[in-house]
């Protein structure tokens, strides 16, 4: 009997575990959103400073944190072998060190060190002086006020209808006024364009990936210029013009006038047919809403002889969305589950599902393919349903729980790992592709070439 069948028999009547698992996955997404969205400046001002929290620390308070950390790891940590350490000996040793410490800050550092001995970077302690809200950071000129939806009035909350799939997709939109580029301060100190949004003003004006911004409306941008200053000068009202001075990789400078416009960033399913016989499908998030959008696109690709499923940089989603996409290619196959210290949870699947596509399939991955996207790749690999092409996936995917500590610190604790239908754990170091693609250089990107897709087409021609 397959491992997942055993899980299904044991837990098919446990809706509580399913809800708990979904909550954990939402938590994972939240962990990654916190540094991006941050808090408002007013909230930050109302919080204690890092110095305040250090000053308020005492050995007694650190020991209270120790007690909760020790109990949580002992009872809930995903690995019952504690990474090969002698956990009982380790916690006694560190409790003595903390009790003997003269400096509360040093005592807390010892607590962090103890958690680090497990050898799992997902499980760590954020001290109280580092859990303060951060200033929000957004690409280009987007502000927190533009990105975060306004809180609805109480009467709207009370009468709100159940959201539709389209509502859920719309909720993922990010609207702002700008030119439609993502810029980054690279190691040299230069401000470089690393993404040009499709259909935006910058693309229409001829801005390309790899362009370095050396001037904004005649104002010089140097290696010492802060990226925030450049962002502020690129910003402006809709319909107004900004003049960028750009330098290409060959050192040639040019001036580009761009009219600012309303930019709407929305995750969308993309599909097309390559060379008349190869289908291409990209789903940027594994959510039920985008899975439905993908299902509407799928019939247009069913007559192709081969298909490419692009999971590059797919880092988020839901169990339901991932399973629905997997069943397009696997049908009513077991999906494995998550193993906890005190039990397991089998991923639910439709036992009457019929695979829609049976022909050769390639899945594209890169170093940002993470989480449930890795689970999808792992499933396809185990069932020998697809050839994996690209780069090693991100790895380190586990379900995690955030536990607030008495001092104001936070314990991030790994509590569950994915186990495949055949009982194999998802590789912690990520999934290695069968065919490796070297990341393209700037010149290829500027030409609009996608070497990953080119390699996939090359491999599919052989099948």
**Residue 225 vs residues 136, 140, 336, 384: alpha-carbon distances, Å:** 19, 15, 50, 51
For β-strands 212-216 and 219-220, DSSP reports them as antiparallel
450, with CB counted inside 10 A (0-12, 13-18, 19+), is: middle
Closest CA relative to residue 122, chosen from 27, 188, 214, 51 = 27
Instruction: Decide which of 76, 108, 130 is a domain's last residue.
Output: 130
Q: What is the pLDDT of residue 55?
A: 81
Number of domains the chain is built from:
3
In a domain, residue 148? The reply is no
Instruction: Decide which of 106, 130, 154 is a domain's last residue.
Output: 130
- Cα angle 84, 89, 95; round to 5: 125
Q: What is the pLDDT of residue 132?
A: 52
In the Cβ-directed half-sphere of 70, how many Cα atoms lie within 13 Å? 16
**Co-location of 197 and 64 in the same domain:** no
pTM, two decimal places:
0.76
Q: What is the pLDDT of residue 137?
A: 38
**Co-location of 277 and 251 in the same domain:** no
For β-strands 343-346 and 361-365, DSSP reports them as unpaired
**Co-location of 275 and 420 in the same domain:** yes
H or E segment to which residue 436 belongs: strand 435-436
In the Cβ-directed half-sphere of 356, how many Cα atoms lie within 13 Å? 17
The whole-angstrom separation of Cα 68 and Cα 184 is 40
**Co-location of 322 and 447 in the same domain:** yes
Give the helix ranges, DSSP H, for 312-388. Answer: 319-330, 372-382
Residue with tokens 């993470």: 370
Q: Which long-range contacts (CB under 8 A, 24 or more apart) does 215-220 make?
A: 215/243, 215/244, 215/245, 215/255, 216/242, 216/243, 216/244, 216/245, 217/242, 217/243, 218/243
> Would you tell me how many other CB atoms lie within 10 Å of the CB of residue 370?
23
Q: Which long-range contacts (CB under 8 A, 24 or more apart) does 342-346 make?
A: 343/10, 343/11, 343/17, 344/7, 344/10, 344/11, 344/419, 345/7, 345/11, 345/14, 345/17, 345/18, 345/20, 345/21, 345/416, 346/4, 346/7, 346/8, 346/10, 346/11, 346/12
**Co-location of 84 and 181 in the same domain:** no
Q: What is the chain's Cα-based Rg?
A: 25
The whole-angstrom separation of Cα 244 and Cα 178 is 13
Q: What is the pLDDT of residue 71?
A: 97
Residue 179 structural domain? 174-265
In a domain, residue 385? The reply is yes
In a domain, residue 452? The reply is yes
**Co-location of 261 and 300 in the same domain:** no
3-state secondary structure at position 138: coil
**Co-location of 188 and 284 in the same domain:** no
**Co-location of 18 and 69 in the same domain:** yes
Instruction: Decide which of 232, 265, 298 is a domain's last residue.
Output: 265
Q: What is the pLDDT of residue 3?
A: 37
DSSP 187-248: TTS-EEEEEE-TTSHHHHHT--TTPEEEEETTEE--TTS-HHHHHHHH---TT-EEEEEEE-
**Co-location of 85 and 190 in the same domain:** no
Q: What is the phi/psi pair of residue 99, to 5°? A: -65, -30
The whole-angstrom separation of Cα 197 and Cα 252 is 23
135, with CB counted inside 10 A (0-12, 13-18, 19+), is: exposed
**Co-location of 189 and 118 in the same domain:** no
3-state secondary structure at position 433: coil
Which residues, in sequence order, are bridge partners of residue 244? 216, 256
Per-10-residue mean pLDDT, the chain, length 463: 38 35 39 32 51 85 97 96 96 97 95 97 94 44 33 33 46 77 92 92 95 96 94 93 96 97 90 97 96 96 97 95 98 97 93 96 97 98 98 96 95 97 96 94 88 96 89
DSSP 81-132: TGGGS-HHHHHHHHHHHHHH-SSHHHHHHHHHHHHHTT--TTSEEE-GGG-S
Q: What is the pLDDT of residue 135?
A: 39
In a domain, residue 403? The reply is no
In a domain, residue 144? The reply is no
In a domain, residue 408? The reply is no
**Co-location of 275 and 382 in the same domain:** yes
Contact 230, 246 (CB under 8 A): no
- CATH number reported for the structural domain that contains residue 293 in this entry: 3.90.226.10
Q: What is the pLDDT of residue 38?
A: 32
**Residue 217 vs residues 133, 138, 156, 241, 269: alpha-carbon distances, Å:** 34, 22, 44, 9, 36
Closest CA relative to residue 69, chosen from 101, 94, 42 = 94
Q: What is the pLDDT of residue 172?
A: 54
Beta strands in 248-285 (DSSP E): 253-259, 261-265, 270-274, 278-282
In a domain, residue 404? The reply is no
- CATH number reported for the structural domain that contains residue 207 in this entry: 2.30.42.10
**Co-location of 294 and 252 in the same domain:** no
- CATH number reported for the structural domain that contains residue 24 in this entry: 1.20.920
In a domain, residue 141? The reply is no
Handedness of CA 379, 382, 384, 388 (dihedral sign): positive
């Amino acid at each position: 009997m397959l491992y997942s069948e055993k899980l299904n028999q044991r837990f098919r009547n446990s809706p509580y575990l399913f809800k708990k698992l979904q909550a954990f996955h939402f938590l994972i997404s939240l962990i990654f959103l916190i540094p991006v969205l941050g808090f408002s400046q007013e909230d930050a001002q109302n919080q204690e400073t890092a110095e305040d929290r250090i000053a308020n620390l005492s050995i007694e308070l650190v020991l209270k944190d120790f007690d909760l950390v020790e109990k949580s790891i002992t009872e809930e940590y995903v690995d019952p072998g504690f990474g090969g350490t002698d956990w009982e000996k380790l916690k006694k040793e560190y409790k003595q060190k903390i009790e003997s410490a003269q400096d509360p800050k040093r005592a807390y550092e010892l607590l962090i060190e103890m958690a680090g001995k497990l050898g799992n970077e997902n499980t760590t302690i954020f001290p109280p002086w580092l859990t303060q809200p951060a200033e929000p950071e957004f690409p280009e000129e987007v502000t927190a006020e533009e990105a975060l939806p306004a809180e609805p009035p109480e009467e709207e909350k009370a009468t709100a209808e159940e959201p539709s799939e389209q509502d859920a997709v719309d909720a993922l939109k990010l609207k702002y006024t700008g030119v439609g580029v993502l810029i980054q301060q690279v190691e040299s100190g230069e401000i470089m364009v690393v993404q040009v949004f499709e259909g935006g003003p910058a693309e229409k004006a001829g801005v390309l990936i790899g362009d370095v911004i050396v001037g904004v409306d005649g104002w010089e941008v140097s290696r010492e210029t802060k990226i925030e200053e450049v962002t502020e000068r690129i910003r402006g009202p809709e319909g107004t013009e900004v003049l960028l001075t750009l330098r290409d990789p060959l050192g040639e400078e040019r001036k580009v006038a761009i009219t600012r416009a309303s930019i709407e960033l929305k995750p969308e399913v993309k599909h097309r047919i390559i060379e008349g016989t190869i289908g291409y499908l990209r789903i940027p998030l594994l959510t039920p809403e985008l899975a439905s959008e993908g299902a509407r696109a799928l019939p247009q690709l069913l007559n192709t002889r081969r298909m490419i499923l692009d999971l590059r940089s797919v880092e988020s989603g839901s169990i339901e969305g991932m399973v629905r996409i997997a069943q397009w290619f696997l049908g009513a196959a077991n999906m494995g589950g998550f193993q906890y210290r005190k039990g397991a949870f089998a991923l639910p699947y439709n036992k009457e599902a019929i695979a829609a596509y049976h022909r050769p399939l390639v899945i594209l991955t890169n170093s940002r393919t993470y989480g449930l996207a890795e689970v999808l790749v792992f499933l396809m690999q185990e069932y020998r349903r697809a050839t994996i092409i690209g780069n090693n996936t991100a790895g380190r995917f586990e379900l995690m729980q955030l536990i607030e500590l008495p001092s104001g610190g936070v314990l991030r604790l790994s509590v569950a790992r994915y186990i495949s239908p055949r009982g194999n754990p998802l590789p912690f170091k990520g999934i290695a592709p069968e065919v490796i693609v070297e990341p393209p250089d700037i010149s290829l990107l500027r030409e609009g070439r996608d070497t990953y897709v080119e390699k996939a087409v090359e491999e599919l021609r052989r099948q």
